[in-house]
Amino acid sequence: MSQFEPQNPDFAAVVRASFAKQGLRQALGIALIEVAPGRATLEAVADPRLTQQQGFFHGALIGAMLDCAGGYAAYSLMPPGSDVLTTEYKINFVAAAKGERLIARGRVIRPGSRLTIATAEGFCRRDGAEHLCAVLLQTLIQVPLAAEAPL
Amino acid sequence: MSQFEPQNPDFAAVVRASFAKQGLRQALGIALIEVAPGRATLEAVADPRLTQQQGFFHGALIGAMLDCAGGYAAYSLMPPGSDVLTTEYKINFVAAAKGERLIARGRVIRPGSRLTIATAEGFCRRDGAEHLCAVLLQTLIQVPLAAEAPL
Amino acid sequence: MSQFEPQNPDFAAVVRASFAKQGLRQALGIALIEVAPGRATLEAVADPRLTQQQGFFHGALIGAMLDCAGGYAAYSLMPPGSDVLTTEYKINFVAAAKGERLIARGRVIRPGSRLTIATAEGFCRRDGAEHLCAVLLQTLIQVPLAAEAPL
Amino acid sequence: MSQFEPQNPDFAAVVRASFAKQGLRQALGIALIEVAPGRATLEAVADPRLTQQQGFFHGALIGAMLDCAGGYAAYSLMPPGSDVLTTEYKINFVAAAKGERLIARGRVIRPGSRLTIATAEGFCRRDGAEHLCAVLLQTLIQVPLAAEAPL
């Protein structure tokens, strides 16, 4: 039920393969739960490795997951042979990130052949409900596979 | 040679104690190298856990370290009994993050009794020189110790 | 049909009075179209004063209108005797701003007694339809009436 | 004394010609004071048209001027036949913008053949000194002359 048409019929496999190559994902126990055209969802389960000084989910983890969620949402719409890099993002933390589970939902606002604008929301699963904890707004750049430069 | 006067003579110990409590720091091998009034420097050594899909330092790690560097720069100027929370930040990635070492230097732009504005720069140590890879602009809020809410 | 309860029953009058005091509004011909709890809409009609070098709506005007739309959305939820100041915002321009009319719709994401997080979208009215041209993410601070400092 | 080499020997004339075409500049009385490779400075004199509800410089004007200052700093480094568009920016307001004069100084952080990252600072001239009132971080895109799309 997406408003976007993928250019790569294998977009889901391509996104999952890219995610699997990320060393940081393993260090932090982040899982890619769902990929759809222009959308991606990641999750992490509460763990002492993921905390800040008060024991809540660390803002850095939240930033990382929302960045990835928006980035893979963007990547899902890119043509075969391309890679995605984050150019920049901005994140607002809107509530204490307490809960058993952190969920990051990315969504493309506007795809482009050079730049894609995406957004992502972070939710904490707590007491059987999801609570918004962060919002991200982001620019992604489409580059040839293995290209390095974000500019 | 800072332009700022700390309100807490024990600022360095307070910053180091807060940093030591962060679970994420240990998971990622981030070290707090230096604290001065209105300044903080963090470092991480290249490691497979810290990479993105091309083997460079992961943007999420860069975001995390710059967020922490700016946050602790801000915390160094806060009075005894206060804690610091990140309200929001924005980061631009300006070059591929290749190198043996990632260095995050945070600096307060303007301290305030409620909000503090800080900036941080990320550098990759490579071939004997430092190369700018990211810039962050950030808002921190001063809260009572153990307060949770970023708003 | 807002999800937010206003704390000031006169919120609409208070918002309109604040808007009326803005000199810039008159210089640019911006109108406040609608105020609801947690929402505000502004409009401007195309005019040579409002253009950039290609004749489209100027990004600065778009930034101004989205900032105001989010700010007044936030102000609508604040208690009597308070004023609102923008602490920071981030804006992405997602398409060329061509059209007869520029519409800015602000919406509160999360209100707070100190800080409120809001978002706003800019649309160009063109060929009988609205086209998204910009997205803003913003932090507002509640201050006593006539307080000056954004920190 | 810039660290950057202009690609266009006529960069200053090109920047000034672009600025002269902006309708908004005239409506607001903004002047382009200086252009150098990777740098640009704009100024506005206090005027009732430029105020917010408390009589200070309006945040929207500050945003507009810092956006332009960073944008023209970036444009000064682009090759002949190119135009510049703002992709996104983020601004923090760090002090009340009181004064006789508002000065916006833009500076390129990192030029690129596609994207350029710039920063700008806003100062209020007051009581014979300059006071920092805002900081901006921004992404610009280089497009062919007369190209429209920011993505």
Closest CA to D143 of D113, D117, D119: D113
Q: What was the pLDDT predicted at C1?
A: 46
Digit-coded pLDDT (tens) for D103-134? 999 999 999 999 999 999 999 999 999 999 99
The proportion of chain B whose per-residue pLDDT surpasses 90, expressed as a percent, equals 75
- Across the interface, of A91, A95, A149, the residue whose CB is closest to B95 is A149
Distance CA A23, CA A18 (A): 11
Residue C2 has pLDDT above 60, yes or no: no
Which residues are within 8 A (CB) of B50 and not within 5 positions of it... i.e. 6 or more apart?
A: A23, A24, A27, B28, B29, B44, B57, B58, B61, B102
The pLDDT of residue D1 is above 70:
no
Taking 3-state DSSP, the helix, strand and coil percentages for chain B, each rounded to the nearest 5, stand at 25, 45, 35
Supply the DSSP string of D42-68, one letter for each residue: EEEE--GGGB-TTSSBPHHHHHHHHHH
Residue D149 has pLDDT above 70, yes or no: no
What is the average pLDDT score of chain C?
91
The pLDDT tens digits of the residues spanning B75-128 come to: 999 999 999 999 999 999 999 999 999 999 999 999 999 999 999 999 999 999
C139, B114: Cβ pair inside 8 Å?
no
C48-61 mean pLDDT: 80
Q: What is the pLDDT of residues A118-139, one digit of tens each?
A: 999 999 999 999 999 999 999 9
Per-residue pLDDT at C61: 87
Does A7 have pLDDT greater than 90? yes
Residues 6+ apart with CB under 8 A from B128: none
Distances (CA, A) of A33 to A50, A63, C115: 18, 17, 32
Is C139 in contact with B88 (Cβ distance < 8 A)?
Answer: yes
Which residue among B90, B95, B117 sits closest to D94, beta carbon to beta carbon? B117
Give C94's contacts in chain A (Cβ within 8 Å).
Answer: 109-110, 117
* Chain B residue with the nearest C-alpha to that of A52: B22
Tokens of C102: 């520029």
For C135, the closest of A94, A117, A132 (CB atoms) is: A117
Q: What chain B residue is nearest to C150 in terms of C-alpha separation?
A: B115
Neighbouring chains of B at 3+ CB pairs under 8 Å are A, C, D
Q: Which member of A88, A90, A115 has the closest CB to residue D151? A: A115
Contact check, Cβ <8 Å, C117/A92: yes
Per residue in A13-49, pLDDT (tens digit) is 999 999 988 877 777 789 999 999 999 999 999 988 7
Confidence of residue A55 (pLDDT cuts 50, 70, 90): confident
Point out the least confidently predicted range of C16-20, C106-110, D24-28: D24-28
Encode burial over A58-96: b for 16+ CB neighbours within 10 A, e otherwise.
bbbbbbbbbbbbbbbbbbbbbeeebbbbbbbbbbbbbbb
Chains with at least 3 CB pairs less than 8 angstroms from chain C: A, B, D
Task: Name which residue leads in pLDDT, A94 or C146.
Answer: A94
Q: What percent of chain C has pLDDT over 90?
A: 75
Residues of C in contact with B88 (CB under 8 A): 88, 139
When the pLDDT of each residue in chain D is averaged and rounded to a whole number, the result is: 92
The string of DSSP codes covering C85-137 is EEEEEEEEE-S---SSEEEEEEEEEE--SSEEEEEEEEEEEETTEEEEEEEEE
The distance of A59 to chain B (nearest Cα, Å) reads: 8
pTM for the model stands at 0.94
Q: Which of residues 71-130 of D touch A (CB under 8 A)?
A: 87-88, 90, 110, 112-117
Pick D148 or D72 by higher pLDDT: D72
pLDDT at A120: 98
Of residues D112, D114, D116, nearest to A114 (C-beta): D114
Q: Output the pLDDT for position D150.
A: 67
Question: How many CB pairs below 8 A link A and D?
Answer: 32
Size of interface C-D (CB pairs under 8 A): 132
**DSSP H or E stretch at residue B20:** helix B11-20
